[in-house]
Amino acid sequence: MSKAILNSSVIIALSTLGYLDKLKRIFREILTTRAVYEEICVRGRGLIGERELLEAIKVGLITVKDAKNHLLVNALLDPLAIGEAETITLTVEERADYIVIDDKLARRRAKSIGLNVIGTLRVLRLMYDAKLIDKREILKALEKLKEIGFRISEEVINKALREL
């Protein structure tokens, strides 16, 4: 089991699917940043993810931690958003096994500095591999994510399904 740092889109997607609590079965330690917390629970008050993240924090599933290296955060800010910049920075600081982030540009930036990048779809695959969800549930999850506007191409979906 490993340590993972989550960005907001992953938390929101897994909250939408009702899968946030399943993370404890695939990661030993789960962190998110203060900026991600504020994006979901302050600016996103009343939206999907707020209640789920607050509950996950309350029960100790997810820990909110401040990124300390403000120079790195600031260097990443153009063109990334604060949540993505802090997520990358915290992953470096914590020497986490995974950064779980979906934004294409943020993923590219994280990979360029040597981080092990996965996204929501890979988390679903890890849940499948751990027998927490089955193939039918993955299909339903992918459809639901598309319905709520989660950007996912048919090519990516087909590739993910072929690999099951």
70, two tokens? 């403000």
According to DSSP, the residues that pair with 27 across neighbouring strands are 2
Q: Model-level pTM greater than 0.75? A: yes
pLDDT digits (tens, 9 = 90+) for 9-66: 999 999 999 999 999 999 999 999 999 999 999 999 999 999 999 999 999 999 999 9
Q: What is the DSSP letter of 21?
A: G
Residue of 107, 148, 161 lying closest to 18 (CA atoms): 148
SS3 assignment, position 23:
helix
Question: Can you tell me the distance from the alpha carbon of 162 to that of 62, in angstroms, rounded to the nearest whole number?
Answer: 31
Question: Can you tell me the distance from the alpha carbon of 64 to that of 135, in angstroms, rounded to the nearest whole number?
Answer: 32
CATH architecture assignment, domain 2-162: 3-Layer(aba) Sandwich (3.40)
pLDDT digits (tens, 9 = 90+) for 89-141: 999 999 999 999 999 999 999 999 999 999 999 999 999 999 999 999 998 99
Answer for the pair 55, 24: CB distance below 8 angstroms, yes or no. no
Tell me which of 22-26, 68-72, 77-81, 146-150 is least confident. Answer: 146-150
- Looking at the chain, list the stretches that DSSP marks H as alpha helix, in order from N- to C-terminal side: 8-17, 34-41, 50-58, 70-76, 82-94, 104-112, 120-129, 135-147, 154-162
Q: At what angle do helices 8-17 and 135-147 cross, to 10 degrees?
A: 120
